[in-house]
Every structure is written in C-alpha cells, then in structure tokens.
C-alpha cells in the first residue's frame, strides 16, 4: 500500500531509469552521510598510521573490510603481531553483525534476479550508513529502484571513506590525537539518529533500551558489555513488539 500511494503521488518516479535512480542515491549520500564517514575514517587513518600501517594498506583495509569495528580490530591485532588466523577471526567476529543486517534488508529485494557474483558484490556494500538509509528508504521505493539507489548511495559513501582514511593517515601527528581518534565515534552516533528515524517500533525500543543498559554492562565487562547489550536490548525489543502486536490483534478480533 505504501509503494502504491507513493507512486500515485509521484508518477514520474515510475519512469526513472536505473542511472537516474543511482544519481538520486548518490545525491542523498552527499552531505551528512558522506561527511560523517569521511570524518570517522579520518580517525581510523590516524590510528592506522600510529600502529605502523602504511597508507595504502589502510585504504585497502577500508575497501576490503568496510566496517570500522573490524578495521580497528585488524589494526590493533597487526600492531601487536598477532597471527594471520587470529586477525581473520577477530575481524570476522567484529563484523558478524553484517549477517543480521543483510537478512534485515533481504525481504525488500525478493524480486531481484541476478548472478551470484553480483549478489556478493552487493553484500560487500552492506555497512552501517548505507544499510540504515536502505531501511529508511526501501519501504517507499519500487522494487526495481532499490538496487540502483543503494549502489549510488554506497559508492559515494565508500569514496568518502577512502578519502577520509587517506587524509587521516596524512594528517596524523598534525592534528591533536584525541580529536582524530574521537572522530571514529561519529559513525555510530549518526547511525543511532538515522535508525531512530526509521520509526519501526522494535528498532526504537532496542535503541533506547540499549542506550540505558549499555553503559552499565560495559562497566561490568569491557570485552562482553557491547555484545551483551545487543543481545539483551534486541531480545527485549523483539519480545515487547511481539506482545504489543498480539495485543493489538486480540483487540481487533
């Protein structure tokens, strides 16, 4: 119903070509999303240089891992001389959140018919900022427009991240260290604001309950506080949303 009403109000949207939709996605990424990623990756670039990682390896880390927590884990483990297998396992664990994130947007792409290599390429672009934008935009978009839009949005975000990594690496030692490292917190802060704007009840409940219990659990355990916050806040939000939906269905019947 949402898609039909949107298309009825904007009939010109039904005739947009994939290139036009990609440009639309790129325009949406310019501004706050790209600036936040640029600034966040400046912090990572500075951290990479301080850990002895050269600028090109730092850039390839941004392109290949494309997830700030996993990138930080890799840099810190490489700096202490951890084995390659341990580094790979650490990065995989830090970026395990990409699996439920990918599953969350999969229902919006049910009619997408393409090859497995293209699907794998699309999966590589699943990261925090584009994913949050997809959750916000996809419900009101036509099926045929979702992939081109996401591609345009993601490419601009990736370019901004690469430029930020380069600038952070080059400027490390010039800008104050606390300033450059604190920039890495901009990305999760921006994600929280965008995710709250999605206005899905379960997501909003998870966001606020996580903000409440997160500091306490982190104080109890630095290593397990964040994963425990995600599990508990997400489970609580799912349970509350499920009960509220059952209650609404009972009243309707």
Q: pLDDT value at position 192? A: 65
State residue 198's pLDDT score: 54
Say whether 51 sits in a helix, a strand or coil: coil
**Total residue length of the chain:** 253
Contacts of 120 (CB under 8 A, 6+ apart): none
CA distance 62 to 232: 30
Among candidate residues 137, 136, 140, 109, the one with its CA nearest the CA of residue 122? 109
Q: Phi then psi for 168, rounded to 5 degrees?
A: -65, -40
pLDDT (0 to 100) of residue 11: 44
> Which pLDDT belongs to residue 152?
93
Query: What is the token pair recorded at 82?
Result: 């951890």
Quote the pLDDT of residue 194. 61
Report the pLDDT value the prediction gives residue 115, as an integer from 0 to 100: 82
pLDDT in tens, 115-171: 888 888 888 888 888 888 888 888 888 888 998 999 999 999 999 999 999 998 988
Residues of the chain with pLDDT under 70: 1-15, 181, 184, 186-200
Per-residue confidence (pLDDT) for residue 60, from 0 to 100: 92
Say if residues 66 and 102 touch (Cβ distance below 8 Å).
Answer: no
Is residue 44 within 8 A of residue 62, CB to CB? The reply is yes
C-alpha separations of 102 from 8, 19, 127, 171, 231 in Å: 30, 24, 9, 34, 17
């Amino acid at each position: 119903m949402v898609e039909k009403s949107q298309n009825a109000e904007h009939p010109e949207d039904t005739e947009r070509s994939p290139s036009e939709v990609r440009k639309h996605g790129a325009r949406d990424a310019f501004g706050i999303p790209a600036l936040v990623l640029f600034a966040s990756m400046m912090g990572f670039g500075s951290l990479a240089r301080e850990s002895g990682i050269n600028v090109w390896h730092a850039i390839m880390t941004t392109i290949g891992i494309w997830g700030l927590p996993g990138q930080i884990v890799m840099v810190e483990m490489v700096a202490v001389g951890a084995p390659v297998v341990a580094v790979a396992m650490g990065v995989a664990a830090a970026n395990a959140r990409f699996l439920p994130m990918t599953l969350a947007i999969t229902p919006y792409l049910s009619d997408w018919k393409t090859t497995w290599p293209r699907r794998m390429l699309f999966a590589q672009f699943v990261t925090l900022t584009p994913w949050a934008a997809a959750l916000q935009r996809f419900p009101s978009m036509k099926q045929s427009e979702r992939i081109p839009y996401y591609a345009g949005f993601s490419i601009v975000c990736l370019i901004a991240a690469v430029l930020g990594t380069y600038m952070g690496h080059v400027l490390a030692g010039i800008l104050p260290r606390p300033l450059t490292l604190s920039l890495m917190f901009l990305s999760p802060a921006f994600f929280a604001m965008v995710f709250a704007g999605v206005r899905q009840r379960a997501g909003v409940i998870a966001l606020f309950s996580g903000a409440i219990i997160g500091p306490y659990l982190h104080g109890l355990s630095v290593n397990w506080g964040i994963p425990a916050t995600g599990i508990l806040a997400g489970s609580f939000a799912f349970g509350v949303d499920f009960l509220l939906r059952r209650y609404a269905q009972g009243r309707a019947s």
